Amino acid sequence: MNAGSGNASSYRLQADGAARGNPGPAAFGYVIVAPSGEEVALEGKAIGTTTNNVAEYSGLIGGLEKALALGVTRLDIRMDSELVVRQMAGRYRVKHPGLVPLFRRARGLVEKLESWTIAHVPREQNARADFAANLALDQALAVRKDMESAR
């Protein structure tokens, strides 16, 4: 692992989390891009009420699980969460007890890869993952609103 610029033969995972309030309704999103530039996976999923950091880790874990299921062995991870990137790179300790199991899960998944990198990117460079997370969250909130108005 390194936090370098990546490898031309690697897949790219962009992951993101979103919470409206902290904690609040939350979702994650990720996109996986092949070395050719083809988008091979895009997913967003609502995850109930939680914190933004839990949502960010959930996006990373969801994306890693999908990448492994696709047979990816080399992965460049890009996220706009400095906290998650620095924890995964070993620059920050994981202090919050709620994040420890998520960190361990993510580390266990990256260890199954042949090689991986992780780097922080500005939010603008993580737009597809952000889109997937916010679309899932908007849909979940619309369903909740419809259910409440039907009562």
Superfamily of domain 11-137: Ribonuclease H-like superfamily/Ribonuclease H (3.30.420.10)
CA distance 137 to 34: 26
| Closest to 30 (Cα-Cα) out of 83, 72, 67, 70 | 67
Mean of the per-residue pLDDT values for the chain? 94
Q: What is the pTM of this model?
A: 0.92
Q: Which helix (H) or strand (E) holds 147?
A: helix 127-149
Query: Is the distance from CB of 80 to CB of 59 less than 8 angstroms?
Result: no
Residue 30 has pLDDT above 90, yes or no: yes
Average pLDDT over residues 131-146: 91
- Condensed to tens digits (0 to 9), the pLDDT of residues 47-70 reads 999 999 999 999 999 999 999 999
